[in-house]
Amino acid sequence: MPPTIRIMLVDDHAVVRAGYRVLLSQADNLVVVAEAESGEQACQYYVDHQPDVVVMDLSLPGIGGLAAIHRICARDETARILVFSMHDEAAYVERALAAGAQGYITKASAPDILLEAVRSIAGGGVYVESRLAECLAARSRCGAEENPGMAQLSAREFDVFCLLAQGCTTRQVAEMLCMGYKTAANHATAIRAKLGVNTTAEMARLAYQQGLIKH
């Protein structure tokens, strides 16, 4: 029998985690040893439980998924993290892999893809859903470059930028990311300065150019 793969689930929706837990637990040699609902919990529970693979959503309260990936990988360079997200834009995939994740699949993928990805990553591989891998390759072939200011955004600023670009107000961003209004406003100010934009419309245009939102 192959060795048991110990998994930590990170998603802020309990019902979603329950569905993943059932799917994973029914498979041979996979066991869920911990569940977290925020970026901060993910970092703490990783230390407490030392899972073989972390299945991580990006849209999380607190520090968010990207920052959690950064922190976990900074603490343990051998951490194996699979992003399981609703976001299918290439820019999100690039950010996640740059943060230290070894895989990225979307929540629209078939159940067996999750199982395949977990096993691949646990075995030391890198797993990017085929459709997303094709998008990354296409971006590379056409020479798509990220706006220089985008590279300066922190993980949380990137989250805030994406929501603002989609038309959310600063107050809505604060509520969705579980942060104070003043913190969200400070992030928005820093983002505008780094990107050299002044209006939400300019943010939306830049986000579209970077493949972060679709018309």
> Chain-wide mean pLDDT for the chain?
90
Q: What is the pTM of this model?
A: 0.83
Give the per-residue pLDDT at 29: 93
pLDDT, one tens digit per residue, over 93-123 is 988 999 999 999 999 999 999 999 999 999 9
pLDDT(206) > 90: no
Q: Which residues pair with 36 in a beta bridge?
A: 10
Structure tokens at 33: 């040893």
> What's residue 142's pLDDT?
61
3-state secondary structure the chain: CCCCEEEEEECCCHHHHHHHHHHHHCCCCEEEEEEECCHHHHHHHHHHHCCCEEEECCCCCCCCHHHHHHHHHHHCCCCCEEEEECCCCHHHHHHHHHHCCCEEEECCCCHHHHHHHHHHHHCCCCEECHHHHHHHHHHHHCCCCCCHHHHHCCHHHHHHHHHHHCCCCHHHHHHHCCCCHHHHHHHHHHHHHHHCCCCHHHHHHHHHHCCCCCC
pLDDT, tens digit, 9 for 90 and up, residues 128-146? 999 898 888 876 666 555 6
Which residue would you say has higher pLDDT here, 46 or 98? 46
Where does the pLDDT of residue 39 fall: very low under 50, low under 70, confident under 90, or very high at 90 and above?
very high
Q: For the chain, which domains are there?
A: 5-140 (3.40.50.2300), 148-209 (1.10.10.10)
pLDDT band for 215, please (50, 70, 90 cuts). low
